[in-house]
Amino acid sequence: MNEPAAPEWHKTACILCLTNCGLQVQLGGDDGRRIVRVKGDKDHPASKGYTCNKALQLDYYQNGRDRLNTPLRRRPDGTFEAIDWDTAIAEIAAGLVAIRDEFGGERIMYYGGGGQGNHLGGMYAGSLRRALGMKYRSNALAQEKTGQAWVNQRTLGSTFWHGDFHDCEVALFIGKNPWQSHGMQRARAVVRQIAKDEGRSLIVIDPRTSETAELADFHLAVTPGRDAWCLAALLAVIVQEGLADADWLAEHAVGLEEVVKTLLDISIADYAEIAGLEEDLIRRTARRIAAADGVAIYEDLGVQMSLNSTLNSYLDNLLFLLTGNLGRAGGVNIPTAMVPIFGTTKEFRDDDGAIRQELSPVTQSRIISDLVPCNVIPDEIVTDHPDRFRAMVVESSNPAHSLADSERMREALSALDLLVVIDVAMTETARLADYVLPAASQFEKWEATFFNFEFPRNHFHLRAPLLPPLPGTLAEPEIHSRLIEAIGSVGEEDLAPLRQAAAEGREAFAEAFFAAMAANPKVAGHAAHVLHRTLGPTLPEGAEAAAGIWLAAQLAARKYPESLARAGYAGSAIQAGNALFEAILTNPSGTHFSLDEPAESLRRVRLPDGKVDLCLPEMLEELRGLASGGAMPDTEGFPLVLQAGERRSYTAQTLIRDPGWLKSNNATALVINPADAAGIGVGDGGRARLSTRRGSVEVVVEVDPRMQPGHLSLPNGLGLSYPDADGRDKITGVAPNELTAVEDRDDFAGTPWHKFVPARLEKIG
């Protein structure tokens, strides 16, 4: 008798956070389309078998009851009707072209382009944007990381750095809880290891005793929103006690004098008090940082979505620069990027020498990293300004839920002449669309993430589909190519020569493609689409969408020849790029693509003489302004501070919509300090009314001494509408942005103050 074959393990990756751990999964269920078993993939070059609790829940994403399986068109009465793909593509292309022809392509905005694990769609969307002359775009980075990207560009001439926590002596987490949110490989294991090692120190700056703070050697329980004073005081200790790395600074930095002058003026005792911290703790922490051989830093939403956020990013950069930790093993490094996730910020000098920046059309807000600040998007739409946005394409994003002030956002999205949403599920944003296009899920198509941040070795993981697409759905690269074909901006005459070259092999293709890029602006402008339709069909097993990665590999080989050569991809740029692409295509667990030495980071400082610039006049002015108070929202009548969106063990953005995945009892609760609970007379599990200037909701309370008095915490990613067993929509938990306001944002980068929402709490009943 034959034994039944053991179910096969398929390689893929988790898509629930930016870490994208390598996985092996088994499929099953009646139709064989359920993800029934999940384990870490030991062969994954970075995660090496690691996963957290969430990976086991992926079936809730793959088989959500609200998956879309046909294009939808809005009827005049507001309901949707199913239409076929040909009709959808033709009508959407015609609608977008009509708006372009009447008002200009710049009046069509693009939002999104990828979530935690799917960035191929956004790559192909670049060709669609060119086809329509769309100039403005945005995504979630413009509500968290743009301030930091701007600071990085100015201080380092490079938009991104990453802490080397695996080898650091001191790990510093600022408004970051890697235990829950990860953002680095194998986070829980790495954090535990640092905490256990007596020679290493874990420093956490967080008002809350987070899971990471519980393990810390130094927990700076800062008063919410007072990080700028805390960071300024740490820097002041370093300068005033003479702890800066003078030799490193002399060799690698300019602009020190002005910074030192400003920091010498700071009263450490006063700033410690404003930050709610003991002066002695600040001094000991600063000394520990200055003494360490290798300080790795991660700043995240706790400061990037709070008061003075761009200033906070500047002060964080000064921390690792004044202590000489850039380009050091176990310090801060600039990784080799396959596809950079931050665009450059366009800055130019006026006749009077002042630096000017590209601005958004209506509100004249700074465009950083090529992204319109999320908080100004409604004001760029709801206005009679002639340059307002009139149409929007939203892909793999849910701005009606994730951007500040959901009510205002719904109003704005409804005011557009045309809204097209590309998603896997019937989201809050899709409900407002004129057309909804159903995408194949991330396990039904070739996919990859561009969140590759490792140093000294970086890796790339191209995932093959586990399953054929749900009938009625298409992968985004195909959707974009069909729209471009309907628009007609690239012709067969542009493609035919490249198809011929592709038939002769990738070496011949590379020569022909780069020649066509130089000679034919249509090929250059629609590169991803052209690759999809020429190189794509020659790739194995329907992997057309991987064609864009071929170009990424080629460009990496041109930009970083030594880094790729050290990882084993040598020869001419074309040969190295092709060898890397072949390795990516044929390694289902992912592959290393670069190997660097720390000094490489210093060579990536692309500023005059290769020196970092410490002196950012705009930020030094804000730093001096702290002495007289700094930025604040209107708190009148709202004495408490709400953090609207904490990462917990059962939050994953809005990637999982089915509340059935919430395994802990209080997954949706508002967590508050016992004193606040007693103050309004509620106990654990009690109900209360939470109000802000923008809204009022009912919450269940969880009492926890790890919160500071006066500080409240709601999880992110909840408050989603999902059909129950009878098909009736039900909302579970609170959608945080029903409570936030668009005007509560950083003066400089426009990033929201979601971690500092003035609030009031009252007992119900």
Ligand X SMILES: Nc1nc2c(c(=O)[nH]1)N[C@H]1C(S)=C(S)[C@@H](COP(=O)(O)OP(=O)(O)OC[C@H]3O[C@@H](n4cnc5c(=O)[nH]c(N)nc54)[C@H](O)[C@@H]3O)O[C@H]1N2
CA distance 451 to 445: 18
Q: Is 184 in the site for ligand SF4 (CB under 6 A)?
A: no
Judged by CB under 6 A, which stretch of 52-60, 238-246, 574-582, 654-662 contacts ligand SF4? 52-60
CA distance 468 to 716: 31
Q: Is 459 in the site for ligand SF4 (CB under 6 A)?
A: no
Cβ-count burial of 77 within 10 angstroms (0-12 exposed, 13-18 middle, 19+ buried)? exposed
Query: Choosing among ligand X, ligand SF4, none, which partner's interface includes residue 479 (Cβ < 5 to 8 Å by kind)?
Result: none
Q: Which two tokens stand for residue 342?
A: 């931050």
CA distance 432 to 451: 30
CB-based contacts of 364: which residues, under 8 Å, 6+ apart?
Answer: none
CA distance 530 to 497: 11
CB of 483 to ligand X, least distance (A): 14
Site for ligand X in 10-49 (CB under 6 A): 17-18
Query: Choosing among ligand X, ligand SF4, none, which partner's interface includes residue 21 (Cβ < 5 to 8 Å by kind)?
Result: ligand SF4
Q: Is 52 in the site for ligand SF4 (CB under 6 A)?
A: yes
CB-based contacts of 532: which residues, under 8 Å, 6+ apart?
Answer: 124, 477, 478, 481, 544, 545, 547, 548
CB 676 within 8 A of CB 709: yes
Q: Contact with ligand SF4 (CB under 6 A): which of 10, 11, 12, 14?
A: 14
**Residue with smaller CB distance to ligand X, 155 or 441:** 441
Q: Is 222 in the site for ligand X (CB under 6 A)?
A: yes
The site map against ligand X for 52-91 (x = CB under 6 A) is ----------------------------------------
CB 118 within 8 A of CB 447: yes
Cis peptide before 497 (omega within 30 of 0): no
Q: Is 424 in the site for ligand X (CB under 6 A)?
A: yes
Q: Is 177 in the site for ligand SF4 (CB under 6 A)?
A: no
Q: What is the dihedral of CA 553, 612, 184, 545, to 10 degrees?
A: -20
Helix 492-503 with 527-534: angle, nearest 10 deg: 50
Q: Is 125 in the site for ligand SF4 (CB under 6 A)?
A: no
Q: Is 323 in the site for ligand X (CB under 6 A)?
A: no
CB 646 within 8 A of CB 716: yes
Q: Is 109 in the site for ligand SF4 (CB under 6 A)?
A: no
Judged by CB under 6 A, which stretch of 148-156, 296-304, 383-391, 616-624 contacts ligand X? 296-304
Query: Choosing among ligand X, ligand SF4, none, which partner's interface includes residue 397 (Cβ < 5 to 8 Å by kind)?
Result: ligand X
Site for ligand X in 374-403 (CB under 6 A): 395-399, 402
Task: DSSP letter for 297, please.
Answer: E
Q: Is 115 in the site for ligand X (CB under 6 A)?
A: yes
Q: Is 692 in the site for ligand X (CB under 6 A)?
A: no
Q: Contact with ligand SF4 (CB under 6 A): which of 100, 182, 410, 463?
A: 182
Q: Contact with ligand X (CB under 6 A): which of 24, 62, 345, 654?
A: 654
CB of 175 to ligand X, least distance (A): 3
CB of 179 to ligand X, least distance (A): 9
Residue 686: name the closest of 694, 695, 677, 675 by CA: 677
Angle value at C-alpha 164, between 158 and 165, nearest 5 degrees? 145
DSSP codes, 120-138: HHHHHHHHHHHHHT---EE
In the complex, the residues that contact ligand X under the rule CB under 6 A are 17-18, 112, 115, 118, 121, 140, 143-144, 174-177, 180-183, 205-208, 210, 222, 224-225, 227, 300-303, 306, 395-399, 402, 422-425, 427, 439, 441-442, 476, 643-647, 651-655, 716-717, 736-737, 740, 754-755
In the complex, the residues that contact ligand SF4 under the rule CB under 6 A are 14, 16-17, 19-21, 51-52, 54-55, 182
